[in-house]
Amino acid sequence: MGEASPLIGILVIGLGLAFVLGTIAQRFKLPPLIGYLLAGVAVGPFTPGFVADTGLTLQLADIGVILLMFGVGLHFSPKDLLAVKAIAIPGAMLQMLVITGLGVAAGYGFGWPLAQGLVFGLCLSVASTVVVMRALQDRRLMETERGHIAMGWLVVQDLLTVLVLVVLPPLAGLLKGEAVNIADLSASLGLTFAKLAVFAGLMLVIGRRVIPAILHYIAHTGSRELFRLAVLSVALGVAFVAAALFGVSIALGAFFAGMILAGSPLSQRAAEESLPLRDAFAVLFFVSVGMLFDPHVLVRQPVALAVTVLIVLGGGVAAYLLMRFLGVGARNARIALSLAQIGEFSFILADLGTGLGVLPPGARGLILGASILSILINPLLFAFVTRKAAPKAAAPEPAPLTPTLLNHHAVLVGYGRVGERIAQSLRGGGVELLVVEEGVGMGEKLAAHGHHHIIGNAVQEPVLRAANIAGARLLYVAIPENFEAGQIVQQARRANPDLVIVARAHFDAGVGHLMGLGANRVVMGEEEIANAMLHFAPE
Ligand code: AMP
């Protein structure tokens, strides 16, 4: 490495290797995440060759955790969280109890004292929020009911784990059979709750007003760079303050920061601006997980490792049964299987437990091994979760299609910058309007604006059929993508020769393409912008 600093080493070799192995995984139709984990193992201290600085990598991974959780919060309003509380609170608590119990049993089998089995079980009982969130986001399940259930479940687990992290040090003496000072214990518990409450209160009362106001102000300066910087400062700043001053985990802090922005008009932009950085640092998170893994454990403790993995997978089964018991339908409850893995919180807990002497030295390796194996298995479980729901794992969940009763109506495809304006101008006119929009989260907005709508991709024939394109009078294709627009125009023309089709394009060639497929008029966006600008030219 010569003169290069350890930080540069991690960024260049860690990210570079993750890129290469991720691409290879992709080639073999495996999730790239597997490549990132293997890259981590390769640059980790347990394999020969280059060894990255573990401490530094973990710190960089923390930035990934913050940005991921912030992004998750942006799509998650407190309303969504409260809606699933009846399932998430009892469910997550019971699941943790069951897994901790299994951990105690396994510990007994390994010949560990009860207290050590207890801490071991606790480590196995928290799913990795980062892994689940990324998977939900990749599969666009974030805004579905099951996505909300999984998210609520994780938030409850995270909160409970924060509590465990706090009470473990004062309780360690008791667990080791020493006398413990009850007054000290209740004082530290009380302090934790008070800090959590103050943090949540501050965020809801002050943060909720101040943070959107700052972003709003910056957005109006028109500087993209400053806006990006503002988003980053908010995400990192709140997470840091949450952890440093309030003892809340950085993950939860960042989640709160995102959540108070959720639903504000700027949340979408904030999400887009933080996306590239988030992806890069999330990769480092997975690399860091791989680095901590000592592959020798596979040879040294195969049975114990297998038992540990089974307990973690059992967590998914337990969550499934509990969800069913709490009244979740069979299809939605399958999301429980996505919770069958452990990650960041388990490592933190394991480190703490080892340090306090309430976890046997070998347990940490088992926990890390089980984590990496369960994360590797996770995409397979997710494929099962999304089976039937969507043919391709990465496709959005198709909403049930209800055919419209409208006839002689106008159909508008796309409710973005262009479509929303069209819809607004048509309001109150003679023609009834039906909007077709593929954004999964757009249903609420369309309903709030009082538009008939169908959520789905208009390229798909059943969607156009449900929109009764054959009986429609007018079709506006207000989406920017020329190829998709062409497919829509072509199908609509085939279904309805008399339909008046007005489409949108952004290149001259696109105009010809759409006209050729049967559009009556194609508006070339840039041309209209130019005309409108010239209109204001000085005499
Ligand atoms: P904008 O470019 O801001 O006018 O946004 C275009 C809108 O069209 C977005 O809201 C997209 O979700 C939506 N959209 C793009 N392609 C399709 C499609 N094939 N079917 C339905 N909606 C679409």
- Distance between CA atoms of 289 and 283, rounded to whole angstroms? 10
**Closest Cα to residue 104, out of 122, 123, 118, 124?**
118
Count other Cβ atoms within 10 Å, centred on residue 304: 19
Provide mean pLDDT across the span 276-287.
86
pLDDT given at position 451: 93
Q: Considering Cα of 154, then 167, then 119, then 52, what sign does the dihedral take? A: positive
CA distance 308 to 371: 9
CA nearest ligand 1 atom 14, residue:
414
**pLDDT band at residue 516 under the 50/70/90 scheme:** very high
Going from the Cα of 417 to the center of ligand 1, the distance in angstroms, rounded, reads 9
CB under 8 Å to 464, separation ≥6 — which residues?
436, 458, 488, 491, 492, 495
Å from CA of 393 to ligand 1 middle: 21
Residue with token string 């710190």: 59
Q: Which of 65-74, 168-177, 304-313, 397-406 has the highest mean pLDDT?
A: 304-313
**Residue pointed to by tokens 């007005």:** 502
- Three-class secondary structure of residue 410 per DSSP: strand
Does ligand 1 have an atom closer than 6 angstroms to the CB of 443?
Answer: no
> Ligand 1 center to residue 72 CA distance, Å?
22
**Residue 323: pLDDT over 90:** yes
Does ligand 1 come within 6 angstroms of the Cβ of 413? yes
Give SS3 for 450: coil
Considering the chain, what percentage of its residues have pLDDT values greater than 90?
39
Residue-level pLDDT at 3: 60
Compute the average pLDDT of residues 372-397. Answer: 67
* 393 confidence band (pLDDT: 50, 70, 90): very low
When pLDDT is averaged across residues 223-252 and rounded to a whole number, the result is: 88
Q: What is the pLDDT of residue 396?
A: 46
* 319/53 Cα distance (integer angstroms): 37
Average pLDDT over residues 246-252: 79
CA dist., res. 459 & res. 399, Å (int): 15
* Contact predicate 491/480, CB 8 Å: no
* Residues 425 and 433 sit within 8 Å (Cβ to Cβ): no
Closest CA to 468 of 482, 454, 455, 480: 454
For 523, the enclosing helix (H) or strand (E) is strand 521-524
**458: Cβ below 6 Å to ligand 1?**
yes
pLDDT digits (tens, 9 = 90+) for 20-57: 999 998 888 777 888 998 999 999 988 888 888 888 88
Of the candidate ranges 27-31, 128-132, 207-211, 234-238, the one whose mean pLDDT is the lowest: 27-31
Q: Cβ neighbours of residue 24 under 8 Å, at least 6 residues apart?
A: 35
Substitution site in 444, 449, 479 for ligand 1 pocket (most atoms within 8 Å of beta carbon)? 479
Pocket test for ligand 1, best of 143, 412, 438 (most atoms within 8 A of CB): 438
* Calpha distance 112→30 (Å, rounded): 38
pLDDT per position as a tens digit, 86-120: 999 999 999 999 999 999 999 999 999 999 999 99
**Ligand 1 atom 11: residue of nearest CA:** 414
* Number of C-beta neighbours around residue 24 at 10 A: 14
In this prediction, residue 399 has a pLDDT band, given cuts at 50, 70 and 90, of low
- What would the 3-class secondary structure string for 62-77 be? HHHHHHHHHHHHHCCC
Domains with residue ranges and CATH for the chain:
62-275+302-388 (1.20.1530.20), 410-534 (3.40.50.720)
Q: Where is pLDDT greater, at 354 or 178?
A: 354
Measure 436 CA to ligand 1 centroid, in angstroms.
9
pLDDT on residue 492: 96
Please tell me whether the overall predicted TM-score, pTM, comes out greater than 0.75 for this model: no
Which ligand 1 atom is nearest residue 458's CA? Answer: 20
66 and 236 Cβ atoms separated by less than 8 Å = yes
Please give the number of the atom of ligand 1 that sits closest to the Cα of 439: 12
* Residue indicated by tokens 């802090």: 253
Question: Does position 504 have pLDDT exceeding 70, yes or no?
Answer: yes
| CA 538 to ligand 1 center in whole angstroms | 36
- pLDDT beyond 70 at 392: no
Cβ of 381 less than 6 Å from ligand 1: no
